[in-house]
Structure 1
């Protein structure tokens, strides 16, 4: 980082250079690189330390847990940053895709397909992937690429543990149908959609100390646009508000004991709940 700073100073001191964008042909690794995020977001890591997956940190902390900790820290710079949340979420999604994506083959074809798939040259797969990305005419593929393409048509991609994937949605449907088989058809369907814009609780989570929740009618910020800007400014507070309201709904109204994983002995407004299932968009 010091050498980069000195290089930038040297470039800036050149009167003939107004704009200089540095680049390199070799991509920077995103795995086990504690300097990555301090270099990408110097305003969030002004000392150049505190990046993810630092091998010298004891005990070790995963990227996902560390990123969540930074979003929940007292310093709200991370949650207010325009790009940090999107970049770290993209990184987490990519890693889950790398870790949980696998291939399956019909058992009747396994003995034939598995050895042939293993024997395919990785360079052929790489070239084939580039050709498909660039929408090359399949008739121009080499015989090795055509064979690899035929093999890939014999396998199915499994990514049920990757959030947001089509396979994860199918997995959720299977879970719901399993609930039907065990508990019977559900008694109640509903969409839980709380309005953070009009909630004094959200304003408190956001950090507005002027809200008096002990009052019967807490005074909200004067205009709806001001309240909406607070929601847009702090999406983490919006997520915390949704989670808080969800727990309150099931615990205080429906009488569900999250620690025990069952309904309270006294039940709730609908009596005792045997089970429930929900998914977040």
Structure 2
């Protein structure tokens, strides 16, 4: 009851926060870095974000010359046909269409292209990056220097601090464990991929600035 009263009080100034911002906040300020080191949380959240972006930004593209054919096929497909045919394909991906609606749905796939915008890792994003690179080359010419940045996170004390290790940066090399220090540093980084990404971001920004 108390929580309900608080949430319904407009004077407090609550505001809606999107999922990506909330996840970023959890990663950066979670208690004891438990979300950063969780074995599956980062993958589950990444999958959820990708599914949301796929659902919200997905489009179906059809060639103009195919409009009459596609329109005729859509008229033969009902909601129940889509649901039943989907369940059939889930059980057997090689299932053959039987009803007229299922045959129309199977035929429709040949005319419709799935286009997803701003979805990480999608072919649309890769194509967009290629087009951006081609535009830069056409505008500014070919690059003269190719540089690959690869800051070593396992040998940098700053990365260890970001990963949550209690390290005195002023005495970092005073108390090393012979033969096991490299393994310990690698273990800390491998258990916290968020810290490794944050260290890479900091290193690249400082270098470019």
TM-score normalised over the length of structure 2: 0.81
Query: Is the contact between residue 197 and residue 227 of structure 1 (CA under 8 Å) also seen in structure 2?
Result: yes
Give the 3-state SS of the residue equivalent to 2:169 in structure 1.
coil
- 2:15 maps to 1:59: yes
Give the 3-state SS of the residue equivalent to 1:135 in structure 2.
coil
- Counterpart of 1:183 in structure 2 is 140
- Counterpart of 2:37 in structure 1 is 80
- Counterpart of 1:70 in structure 2 is 26
Structure number with higher relative contact order (C-alpha < 8 Å, ≥ 6 residues apart): 2
Correspondence 1:118-129 to 2 at 5 A: 120-129=77-86
- 2:184 maps to 1:226: yes
My pick for the range that moved more, 80-89 or 222-231, is 80-89
Give the 3-state SS of the residue equivalent to 2:29 in structure 1.
coil
CA-CA distance at 1:189 after TM superposition: 2.2
Aligned equivalents of 1:183 and 1:126: distance in 2?
51
Aligned equivalents of 1:148 and 1:117: distance in 2?
8
CA-CA distance at 1:119 after TM superposition: 5.8
Q: Deviations over 1:33-91 (max 9, x none)?
A: xxxxxxxxxxxxxxxx9xxxx99881111111111101100521221222222222211
Q: Deviations over 1:87-125 (max 9, x none)?
A: 222111111111111111112223542464366212212
Correspondence 1:199-238 to 2 at 5 A: 199-212=156-169, 218-219=172-173, 222=177, 223-238=181-196
- 2:203 maps to 1:245: yes
Aligned equivalents of 1:235 and 1:149: distance in 2?
42
Aligned equivalents of 2:77 and 2:8: distance in 1?
35
Query: Is the contact between residue 54 and residue 116 of structure 2 (CA under 8 Å) also seen in structure 1?
Result: yes
CA distance 1:70–1:55, shift in 2 (3 Å): farther
- Counterpart of 1:109 in structure 2 is 66
Give the 3-state SS of the residue equivalent to 1:158 in structure 2.
strand
Give the 3-state SS of the residue equivalent to 1:72 in structure 2.
helix
Structure 1 spans left out of the alignment, 5+ residues:
1-48, 252-281
Aligned equivalents of 2:8 and 2:185: distance in 1?
42
Give the 3-state SS of the residue equivalent to 1:86 in structure 2.
helix
Correspondence 1:244-263 to 2 at 5 A: 244-251=202-209
- 2:49 maps to 1:92: yes
- Counterpart of 1:136 in structure 2 is 94
The alignment of Structure 1 onto Structure 2 pairs a total of residues equal to 195
My pick for the range that moved more, 118-127 or 150-159, is 118-127
Richer in helix (by share): 2
C-alpha RMSD over aligned residues: 2.6
Query: Is the contact between residue 160 and residue 169 of structure 1 (CA under 8 Å) also seen in structure 2?
Result: no
My pick for the range that moved more, 231-240 or 187-196, is 187-196
Aligned equivalents of 1:226 and 1:189: distance in 2?
33
